[in-house]
Amino acid sequence: MDIELSKEDLDFEAEVRGFLKENAYTGGDAEAWRMNWFEKAREKGNWDVPKWPVKFGGPGWTPNQHFVWQKETARAGTPWDMPFGLSMLGPVLMAHGSEEQQQRFLPDIRARKVNWCQGYSEPGAGSDLASLKTKAELSEDGSHYVVNGTKIWTTMAHIADWIFCLTRTSDAGIKQEGITFLLFPMKQDGVEIKPIITLGGSHTVNTVFFSDVKVPVENRVGEEGKGWTYAKGLLEHERTGIAGISNSIVALEGLKNKARSVKRGNGSLMDVPSFRAKVAELEVDLMAVEYTELRSLATASAGTAPGPESSILKLKGTDIQQRIQKLTMEAGGQFSAAWGGTNAGPDFARAGMGGYMSSRVYTIYGGASEVQKDIVTKKVLGIKSSKK
């Protein structure tokens, strides 16, 4: 057992820091900077796709290098990026897509040219995702599917170019069978998008309606009826991402600084014992989960799907994110209630309650906490339900 970084790792760390410093945003056209950043990262040694396997153009980092990258990028910040193509669909195509599909879709995902969204949940299929009903019917000549149905909570559907979508092609057998994984463009007739406004006041999720959308059979990933198997691996990737542990480490430092700026008596809010204790408890949990993630990183070689342990990371990681939001709101005091139109109180308080309300979704999306616990029960603890 050894947690020391080797000399090579420390050199790598210095190199990463240097790169991030050199390419930090300094103003001007943000989109031009973003595209340039990814280009530079690619030139540096395929740093634009850290988690992709070498076979598909990734850098082939060791677990320690991944850890260094995650830690440093969380602190320095990286350009805005969407996980759907890069971290979710990408690995599915690498594992189950045809060579033709890999060549057709992966380069544009890597170049951040095409934005993807994920067509999973439905109004009647949330936690129970496998009960989804969006129907895909194969045409008589076998050339295309016709898709009809409704997807909900589709993040960024309103800016997405393409969707990867779970559809039902058969009702025979158990519900996990008969699900087919299709890819199709969002900007076409028969695709209608309705925004959902969440309690934080923002628009990121949507309801998406499909009516007679034609999808060529060559856009089916893998076999018909096997989509659930492909989708499951993808969900595990999503969960690891949602845990957001590196971001929480940075956010916790931010919270402490905010609390130090709030005057209480002769000191600051960080001197108030009850508040300080809550921040400390949070930090202890975060220290532990950081190493839970490292342990899972060390056992899983880069590029393969994380196992059901990702559920633990999601459960702990989202709880920590929510507690950071809650304490930030608390640090803002009454001023966190303001909804625009005032400069009263500390600057960070302005979006306090909105931020807290938005954070409630962390334990709901990507498989609610209740579902994660079911997965741990069955897959990790090995408890089978015995129906009497």
Partner 1 sequence: MNFDLSEEQQLVSDSIERFVQENYHLDSRIAIVKKSPGYSEEYWKTMSELGWLGLPFSEDDGGFGGDQIDTMVLMEQFGKGLVLEPYLASIILGGGAIKRAGNDEQRQAWLEGVIDGSKQLALAYAEPESGDEPHNVALAGSKTSDGYTLTGTKCMVLHGGTATAFVVSFRTSGGTVDQSGITLALIPADREGLSIQAFPTVDGLQSSELTFDKVAVTAADIIGDVDGGFETLNATINDGILAVAAEAVGAMEVLYKDTVAYTQDREQFDHPLSDFQVLQHRMVEMFMEYEQCKSLLFRATMEVASNGEDAQRCVHALKHLIGKASFFVGENAVQTHGGMGVTEELRVGHYFKRLLVIEAQFGNTDYHLDQFAA
Give the whole-angstrom CA distance, residue 201 versus residue 329: 16
* Residue 167 CB, nearest approach to partner 1 (Å): 19
Query: Which positions from 266 through 325 interact with partner 1, judged by CB under 8 A?
Result: 272, 274-275
On whether the CB atoms of residues 206 and 143 are closer than 8 A, the answer is: no
Quick one: which segment of 11-19, 96-104, 162-170, 343-351 binds partner 1 (CB under 8 A)?
343-351
Give whichever of 27 and 265 is closer to partner 1, judged by the CB atom.
Answer: 265
Smallest gap from residue 334 Cβ to partner 1 (A): 5
Q: Does 127 bind partner 1 (CB under 8 A)?
A: yes
Number of residues that bind partner 1 (CB under 8 A): 51
> At closest approach, how far in Å is the CB of 361 from partner 1?
5
User: Do 321 and 341 touch, CB atoms closer than 8 A?
Assistant: no
> Is residue 128 part of the contact set for partner 1 (CB under 8 A)?
yes
Residues 345-384 that bind partner 1 (CB under 8 A): 345, 353-354, 356-358, 360-361, 363-365, 368-370, 373
Among 10, 337, 380, 383, binds partner 1 (CB under 8 A): 337
User: Does 133 engage in binding with partner 1 (CB under 8 A)?
Assistant: no
Note whether 119 binds partner 1 by CB under 8 A: no
Nearest to 293 by CA among 320, 333, 264: 320
Site string for partner 1, 183-212 (x = CB under 8 A): -------------xxxx-----x-------
Please tell me the distance from the alpha carbon of residue 4 to that of residue 297, in angstroms, as a whole number: 15
Closer to partner 1 by CB, 96 or 239: give it.
239
Under DSSP, is residue 363 helix (H, G, I), strand (E, B) or coil? helix
What is the nearest approach in angstroms of partner 1 to the Cβ of residue 317?
A: 16
DSSP 207-235: EEEEEEEEEEGGGEESSTTBHHHHHHHHH
* Cα–Cα distance, 262 to 279 (Å, whole number): 15
Contact 195, 203 (CB under 8 A): yes
Cβ nearer to partner 1, comparing 171 with 218: 171
d(CA 192, CA 360) in angstroms, rounded, equals: 27
| Largest distance between two CA atoms of the chain | 79
Torsional class of 259: left (φ above 0), alpha (ψ -120 to 50), beta (otherwise): alpha
CA angle 239, 330, 333 (to 5 degrees): 145
Rounded to an integer, what distance in angstroms lies between the CA atom of residue 47 and that of residue 52?
A: 10
**153 is a site residue for partner 1 (CB under 8 A):** yes
| Candidate residues 21, 113, 263, 378; the one interacting with partner 1 per rule CB under 8 A | 263
Q: Choose between 232 and 326: whose C-beta lies nearer to partner 1.
A: 326
Type of residue numbered 67: F
Minimum CB–partner distance for residue 269 and partner 1 (Å): 8
H-helix or E-strand spanning residue 64:
helix 63-76
Options 36, 143, 211, 334; binder of partner 1; rule CB under 8 A? 334
- Site residues for partner 1 per CB under 8 A: 121, 124-128, 131, 152-153, 196-199, 205, 262-265, 272, 274-275, 326, 329-330, 333-345, 353-354, 356-358, 360-361, 363-365, 368-370, 373
